[in-house]
Structure 1
């Protein structure tokens, strides 16, 4: 009986994985047609900061083809992410309790929006300042000509760093809801979190003060936001428990 149940879960997992990959490939086809334009858009924060006539270079033979295709695949993944999350949700939802399903949907939607917000913050705010800082300190006579593959790796690492950073409120809420840590303890360790934020920023960002501050400061602010939201949720849960307890007591009194 257990083997049959496990086999059915594996079959469902395979089916939903195929659906996810199929939709991503369908999204990749139109994105691949505009791969050059997508890469130009991605490179805009650096291109705007280069001196007049500055450009990027490709040092490998196949780089001009494969790098834009990677960007197209990344865009297709982002565009089809709602479908991917739905497939994951449809797979795990039957095994969750009712209260877990009610919490899971807002967390999935919220975490997706926060991750996209982190990427947008990196693209529109962090990257232009970082590239302006770097190009400003380039010595005279030195042409800043970045390889397009190295640029893509750099930008993806920045997107990932800022996207995960913007997930801090979700992490805080999950830790509080699962009982791993209390809100009082979160407030108590606040100084250590601030120090850790700057250490993390120093590790995952370029060696310049601007990008480190632009990652560390939002991390601290989002940590505070997570505490506030977790406190609101906890107060609502306690109010619901008190309401349920009072209704049970009133029912018992009416029976007596």
Structure 2
């Protein structure tokens, strides 16, 4: 009987972690569903707003079209679901923080919490950058190079896939400072090394821009250049971050600092 007790003691925390993880995932799903339920009535207006950057450059008399029977309903429905997911990100990050925070020391929380908050701000900033700056530029370019005799009438489903790809690409690209700071903080790389590989990073930014964006030089450049600048921002702020584990006293209890909690 005494030999089985340690095994049971090891299993219980794991079960507790999984139970809490399930609870937090359910909260995220509920938050997404509630936001979606509130937005569903405005699904058509949301699509109208998202399609505005293209529609303003359509030739006079031209409109967007729906080539599938169910597209007029399914496309705004799909967009509204994605919007609900994006709007629920603060709730999702709050649940993520609530799950990992008990396992962090106080000095680790001082770094981790700002990174979590800044990650969602940067993601929204990337999407706003794409909508207000990138979309007007590339759609104006596409409209200006339309061959003579060809009517520019974009399918609403194809347009949604196109802009969602760009939204995601720019949102993820704007997370580069957070990724760089994390890598420096945990000791995977240092600032001096990142400065040495700067030329390769610039090339990599253009390669990633080529992969993540549609095959036109404008959207590729508009993604690659901000990625490089955000890398430089991450390197700058990474130099201000003290690498985790540099000082052994960090792992000791500080006044008022609690060790990582073990959930029952």
RMSD: 1.7
* 1:167 corresponds to: 175
Distance 1:163 1:89 in 2: 20
* 1:59 corresponds to: 67
Alignment of 1:115-154 (within 5 A): 115-154=123-162
Distance 2:21 2:182 in 1: 25
* 2:254 corresponds to: none
* Number of aligned residues: 239
Q: Which residue of the other structure, out of 79, 83, 89, is the alignment partner of 2:91?
A: 83
Q: CA deviation at 1:238?
A: 8.3
Distance 1:200 1:84 in 2: 27
Q: Which residue of the other structure, out of 95, 119, 135, is the alignment partner of 1:111?
A: 119
Alignment of 1:87-102 (within 5 A): 87-102=95-110
RCO higher in 1 or 2 (8 Å CA, sep ≥ 6)? Answer: 2
* 1:177 corresponds to: 185
2:52 counterpart of 1:44? yes
Q: Tell me which moved more, 193-202 or 39-48.
A: 193-202
Alignment of 1:176-255 (within 5 A): 176-234=184-242
For residues 232 and 101 of structure 1, do their structure 2 counterparts lie closer, same or farther at Cα, with a shift above 3 Å needed?
A: same
Distance 2:17 2:217 in 1: 49
* 2:256 corresponds to: none
Q: CA deviation at 1:97?
A: 2.4
2:241 counterpart SS class: helix
Deviation sequence 1:158-181 (CA, Å, 0-9, x none)? 011111111111111011111111
Deviation sequence 1:179-219 (CA, Å, 0-9, x none)? 11110000000011111111111222222221121111111
* 1:245 corresponds to: none
Distance 1:106 1:93 in 2: 13
Q: Tell me which moved more, 30-39 or 19-28.
A: 19-28
* 2:41 corresponds to: 33
Distance 2:212 2:81 in 1: 24
Give TM-score, length-normalised by structure 1: 0.89
* 1:72 corresponds to: 80
